[in-house]
Amino acid sequence: MKVGDHELQKSGRVDTNVEGKTPSNEASVGEFQYYRLTGPKGLDVELAYVTWANGERDVQVTRAKEPAILSHLEGRRRLALMRMPGGEFYAVLKQARVKSEAPNEWSGLFKASKDELDAGAKLDVHGVLKQCGAVRVGPKETVTGISDRQDDWPTAVFTCDDRLSPVVAFTVTRVLPLVMMYRPQLRLS
């Protein structure tokens, strides 16, 4: 699948009984289904959609060859997939960003507006997610019915058997903003 100028492919490789930590930090074993993202300037990243024995799921980087800034994502900054009543899963679309004072580092995940998500990935993020199979994309409370302190955070909802859309969501919110060296403009009020 094309994601902007990048190519995302299911590798066909699956590892079972891989030991690790779930999004809730519980020791568990998981099944890793691997994908490969390649693109301009030597981009080469291995991603995994992980189904943990306790039912939790996430998407993570398992190997990043190029660019070097992506090695910081290995085993970190996962996209946690939260189960909803009825069996669907949702993910809050937090965005990885480059530190403005240190261009080869990034400092974490941030709340991002739709415009910031689009600017970071240089794509229509909501459109790409819906095109590849996301059920709903929008503010968390609107698309999930869940009311909490993240009500207005961009969120995507996926069917329980959808693996591709969550991997694309990770790509456009974690990988591409770092590859594009995205830094949002300061807002002066």
Q: Is the predicted pLDDT of residue 29 greater than 90, yes or no?
A: yes
- Report yes or no: 13 and 34 within 8 Å, Cβ to Cβ: yes
CA atoms within 13 A on the CB side of 47: 30
Structure confidence at residue 75 as a pLDDT band (50, 70, 90): confident
The pLDDT, as a whole number, for residue 188 is 43
Q: Is the predicted pLDDT of residue 146 greater than 60, yes or no?
A: yes
Residue 66's Cβ-count burial label (10 Å; 0-12, 13-18, 19+) is middle
Q: Which residue matches tokens 């790409």? A: 128
CA atoms within 13 A on the CB side of 189: 0
**Average pLDDT for the chain:** 89
Q: Which residue matches tokens 């290995």? A: 74
The pLDDT, as a whole number, for residue 153 is 94
**Whole-angstrom distance, CA of residue 55 vs CA of residue 43:** 32
**Whole-angstrom distance, CA of residue 9 vs CA of residue 168:** 10
User: Residues 103-131: pLDDT tens digits?
Assistant: 556 667 889 999 999 999 999 999 999 99
- Report yes or no: 91 and 155 within 8 Å, Cβ to Cβ: yes
Show the DSSP H helices in 21-91 as ranges.
Answer: none
DSSP β-bridge partners for residue 136: 157
**Which of 27-31, 38-42, 182-186 shows the lowest per-residue confidence on average (mean pLDDT)?**
182-186
